[in-house]
Amino acid sequence: MSAALWMVVAGAALPVLGAVGVALRRRADRAWVVGAAGLGALSTTLGAVLSERGAVAQAVVDGQLLFALDPIAATLAPALGLVAVAAALALPARALSMRGAGAALLMQGLSTALLAVADLRLLLLFELLKLVAVVWALRGGRAGRLAVVTLGLSALLLVAVSALLLGQAGWSAAMTGHVAALAEHPAWLLALGLAGLLRLGVFPFHGWLVAAFEEGQPAQILPLAIPASALVIIVRLVSPALEIAAPGVHGVIVVAALLAALLSQGLALVQTDLGRALGFSVTAGLAALLVGAIDVDPIGRAGGVAHWAAWVLAIGGFVLAAGAATARLGKVDLRRSHALNERAPRLGGLFVMLGFATAAGPGTVDFVSADLMLHGTVGHHWPQLLLLIAVMGVQGMNVLRWYFQIFTGPAPTFADPRASMPLQIRERVGLMVVLGLLLLGGFAPNALPVIEHASAEVPPGALAHRP
């Protein structure tokens, strides 16, 4: 096993060990959580740097391929770790509970492992552990009850389809063998796709995710909402099988995903509570990610994976900025102005800049990845193209509305200077790191392994000559 793959495996194990340490210590010290998340992020980042251009590092045990580090894993794994570190820094002290911190570390480690997994049995094991962690973290409220039903059904479908695939292709079959079996059984393929959508939390299966943002602190819910491990199932199994079994259905799925994303953005626009609005915005972003995840065009697929990583960073930073506002104001009623700029001026600037990054704002890596998506299959069909642009446009409108309601308006008079609520150093560092990475990625997008790999495969000038 190569050094790069060892680094990624270690990056998955370290946060899990940190979660075990939280359970044994029976408390969640910020230094402990940040240290475990940071070591995991550092290890995965080094693994991505060590990975050779276009190479696939593999781990074979007894003739069976268990892990593989491809450009997709090398792009997404560092993004996961860096957002986890930012969340650990920005999380309010009162929300730094053993349950929340332990679940966040566990999710970080399992998500990293899922990106590099190349065996169906391990994929099933890690995904079921993640589902259990989500339900455990949300227990006790309406979001927890909805999660039990929705994620429980997802788990049942995933176990059933995996059992059928392992029974037909054998326990030692490669992932490509399971893809071929899925292509031969449309019912299995449909069930696995439904399991992925239930886990993803897109409309109309969004109830548990929106309720979680409504009930909890955004920084606590963030690890449960992203990086959307169900997309791993869709990218590794569902999308390749669809290309074989029903290539014509791709357009239908893209239109349905974009309509779901646009509807979710519209619902976010009319919400009066910031938590619910953020929940709908996240579900819209997850639906939009499906477009790139199932793209059959190499350029569009590279853009989709890059957008996946960029969206993880952007929505992670934006939700953390919104969480910082919520920590200062409590429940944010979007029907009235709160004039938070008077008390936390730097937070307003970070909020709007990170928010525009979620809408593919120019100068960020999201803009580059969205542009690549528009040069994929979506760019060949004007209705899909207009829908994707509309989704991003409404997200930008939402960010502006939330900014004006939270940070501007009639400023109250503060006689007591202690009423000021500036960003703490740890919050500032977490948000600035995310914003800096988004801008750096926009300046040098070829630093992303998946874009570098795609540019090596696409001849020069190919984009300019596409129909």
What confidence tens digit (pLDDT) does each residue in 27-37 have? 778 888 888 88
Question: What pLDDT sits at residue 367?
Answer: 80
In degrees, to the nearest 5, what angle opens at C-alpha 227 toward C-alphas 224 and 228? 80
pLDDT at 265: 92
pLDDT digits 0-9 by tens, 127-169: 888 888 888 888 878 888 998 999 899 999 999 988 888 888 7
Query: How many whole angstroms separate alpha carbon 28 and alpha carbon 394?
Result: 38
- pLDDT the model gives residue 416: 46
Give the list of residues 6+ apart from residue 424 with CB closer than 8 angstroms, or none: none
127: tokens are 């995904």
Q: List the structure tokens of 456.
A: 């090596």
- Given a contact cutoff of 8 angstroms between Cβ atoms, the answer to whether 134 and 151 are in contact is yes
pTM: 0.86
pLDDT attached to residue 227:
59
Amino acid at 239: S
Q: Which among 364, 371, 332, 361 is positioned nearest to 444, based on CA atoms?
A: 364
Local structure of residue 422 (DSSP, 8 states)? P
Which tokens in the block code for residue 110? 């399992």
Three-class SS of 171-182: CCCCHHHHHHHH
Torsions phi, psi of 411, nearest 5? -85, 125
Opening angle at CA 19, ends 18 and 20, nearest 5:
90
Q: 217 to each of 100, 124, 126, 143, how far by Cα in Å?
A: 10, 29, 26, 13
- 303's tokens: 């853009």
In this structure, which amino acid lies at residue 183?
A
Ranges under pLDDT 70 in the chain: 1, 52-64, 94-95, 225-229, 411-420, 445-467
Query: Residue 137 has which token pair?
Result: 């973290």
CA angle 221, 80, 225 (to 5 degrees): 25
